[in-house]
Amino acid sequence: MSSLTAPAPQRTESEDHDDAPLLWIHASRGMQFVDIAGLWTFRELLFYFAWRDVKVRYKQSILGILWILIQPVAQMFIFATIFGRIVGLPSEGVPYASFAFGGLAVWTYFASTVTKMSSSLDGNMHLITKVYFPRILLPVSVMLGTLVDFAIVLPIVLILGVLAQGRVLESWLVIPAAVALLLAVTFGVGIWLSALNARYRDVMLALPIVLQIGFYLTPVVFSSSIVARVVSDEWLPLLAFVNPMLGVVEVFRWAALGTNEPQLASVVMACLAALLLIATGGIFFARTERTVVDRI
């Protein structure tokens, strides 16, 4: 005698969705810092954004990656002619062309990176309004992309240092710390500008002017001793706090080229300014991130 078994009831699609976990995405409250842990969680997306920026930057260009060197080299020749030959500014014991190139390598990275970071949010509006990911990925990916440019320029600065001093310098051991300070200042300024630009479009209009003023307040193509003559030695640490790139350029050029040692007070003030920029910028960015979709 055969027995009949009833078929197992089929689950409907709605029942499957009922068992699926729900993920609620909502704005956080209270004072918070940027989601640093999200950088590691979304690291693949972070590196994808960085590599995308590098590829797009030199896509369909004849000279390609050579443009990384053309800008600082062209500026070096211009400033070497004007300030080195005509004006005769001091270059702290190294050829003026090497002196200027060392400063331009650092300043070019800083200026180009903070400019691109400032537009990283509104420039990716099509992504922000459609999919969730930590918004801090966008400005940080810009830093990683432009860091490729700096990594190509850095060996040339080191070669110029060997040619100027005739030997490998012991101060090269300080270069990682100098680069870390550069990245810290760039990150702090960049996240401030990216959050501000999401709120006020005046930032992109004022930024070129501010960077131009900052260029001449920073000893990029002249020694910090000249800056000290203008603002006096007592006010130089305060200027280094307001403009931390002063200390960054000086410590990097000394480490890479063997120029005069930077003033300890200027370096300390630059470090304090970098910490303050990161702390306040991280809080302000997290606050802006909550409503960035509505603002952009």
In a domain, 21, yes or no: no
Q: Which residues contact 193 (CB under 8 A, 6 or more apart)?
A: 114, 117, 118, 203, 207
Q: What is the pLDDT of residue 2?
A: 46
Mean local confidence (pLDDT), 196-205 = 85
In a domain, 27, yes or no: no
- The pLDDT confidence band at residue 1, using thresholds 50, 70 and 90, is very low
Rounded CA-CA distance 237/243 in Å is 10
DSSP states of 231-283: H-TTTHHHHHHHSTHHHHHHHHHHHHH--SPPPHHHHHHHHHHHHHHHHHHHH
In a domain, 25, yes or no: no
Between 64 and 173, where is the model more confident? 173
Mean local confidence (pLDDT), 253-268 = 90
> Does residue 239 have a pLDDT over 50?
yes
Mean local confidence (pLDDT), 221-236 = 78
Note the pLDDT tens digit of each residue in 146-170. Answer: 998 899 899 999 999 999 888 888 9
Q: Please list the alpha-helical segments (H only) found in 64-168.
A: 67-79, 96-118, 125-128, 137-165
Between 227 and 24, where is the model more confident? 227
Residue span of the structural domain in which 174 resides? 32-295
In a domain, 84, yes or no: yes
**φ and ψ at residue 158, rounded to 5 degrees:** -65, -40
> Does residue 130 have a pLDDT over 50?
yes
Amino acid letter, residue 52: R
CA-based nearest residue to 198, from 270, 285, 110: 285
Question: For the whole model, what pTM was predicted?
Answer: 0.83
Note the pLDDT tens digit of each residue in 170-197. Answer: 999 999 999 999 999 999 999 999 989 8
Q: How many structural domains does the chain have?
A: 1
Between 217 and 291, where is the model more confident? 217
Note the pLDDT tens digit of each residue in 29-62. Answer: 656 777 777 788 888 888 888 888 887 776 766 6
In a domain, 257, yes or no: yes
CA-based nearest residue to 36, from 191, 266, 168, 260: 191
In degrees, to the nearest 5, what angle opens at C-alpha 240 toward C-alphas 196 and 36? 45
Mean local confidence (pLDDT), 97-103 = 90
According to DSSP, residue 123 is labeled G
Structure tokens at 219: 């000893």
> Does residue 293 have a pLDDT over 70?
no
- Asked if 74 and 224 count as a contact pair (C-beta separation under 8 A), the reply is no
In a domain, 241, yes or no: yes
Q: What is the pLDDT of residue 24?
A: 56
- The pLDDT confidence band at residue 238, using thresholds 50, 70 and 90, is confident
In a domain, 4, yes or no: no
* Helix, strand, coil fractions of the chain, as percent rounded to 5: 70, 0, 30
Structure tokens at 265: 């007070």
> Does residue 26 have a pLDDT over 70?
no
In a domain, 89, yes or no: yes
